[in-house]
């Protein structure tokens, strides 16, 4: 497989694809294929069952990680918020993302003592993945002092970086392995 036919340039691209692949994708009808003649050769070609299979393969590998590593990958790559149909706001946290944050919040409880306010813990974890979430906003939402939150954020962030990095390496190793297997099949 040459670089030009490689499905994904890196693990970030593969994970982004897998977590954003929608079950709403469907096979193109013959008429649709004819109408998109100009588009032939563009994109990844991962529609219908091919796309679902590739996304499923990546998700299955993510599922083999430790709960904390899996939660880091999900929190980093899954869609986070749903758009409200009536007003267009993006306030509703999606279940997959919320579960990942909850898992990491529980991990924080078992790793660090003293942070008993669940919402504060989860907001601190979210702030690792959501760059716009500030300590000031967390303090207002959770009614916990900023000094306490800064302390916990530095501790949690330090450990989350390690877990997140290990998860990224594990997934990258897997994706490299399947790329090499594809090279071997075409030789």
Q: Please give the residue range of the domain that contains residue 121.
A: 67-186
Whole-model pTM: value is 0.75
Does residue 103 sit within a domain? yes
Structure tokens at 24: 């709403």
> Of all helices (H) and strands (E), which one includes residue 93?
strand 92-93
If one counts the domains in the chain, the total is: 1
| Residue closest to 186 by CA, chosen among 15, 11, 6, 8 | 6
Does residue 41 sit within a domain? no
Does residue 2 sit within a domain? no
Which residues pair with residue 93 across a beta bridge? 81
Rounded to whole angstroms, how far apart are CA atoms 85 and 69?
Answer: 33
Q: What is the DSSP letter of 170?
A: H
Q: State pLDDT tens for residues 56-85.
A: 888 888 989 999 999 999 999 998 888 777
Does residue 116 sit within a domain? yes
Q: State pLDDT tens for residues 112-166.
A: 777 677 888 889 999 999 988 899 999 988 888 999 899 889 999 999 999 999 9
Structure tokens at 92: 């509703």
Does residue 61 sit within a domain? no
Q: What is the DSSP letter of 81?
A: E
């Amino acid at each position: 497989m040459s670089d030009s036919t490689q499905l994904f340039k890196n693990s970030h691209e593969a994970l982004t694809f897998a977590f954003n692949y929608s079950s709403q994708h469907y096979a193109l009808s013959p008429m649709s294929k004819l109408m998109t003649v100009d588009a032939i050769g563009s994109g990844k070609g991962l529609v219908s069952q091919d796309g679902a299979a590739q996304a499923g393969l990546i998700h299955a590998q993510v599922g083999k990680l430790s709960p904390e590593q899996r939660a880091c990958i999900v929190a980093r790559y899954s869609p986070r918020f749903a758009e409200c149909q009536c007003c267009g706001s993006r306030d509703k946290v999606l279940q997959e993302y919320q579960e990942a944050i909850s898992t990491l919040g529980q991990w924080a409880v078992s790793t660090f003592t003293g942070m008993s306010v669940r919402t504060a813990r989860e907001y601190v974890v979210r702030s690792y993945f959501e760059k716009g979430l500030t300590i000031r906003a967390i303090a207002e939402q959770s009614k916990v002092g900023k000094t306490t939150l800064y302390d916990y954020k530095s501790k949690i962030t330090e450990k989350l970086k390690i877990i997140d990095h290990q998860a990224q390496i594990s997934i990258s190793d897997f994706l490299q392995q399947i790329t090499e297997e594809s090279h071997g099949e075409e030789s």
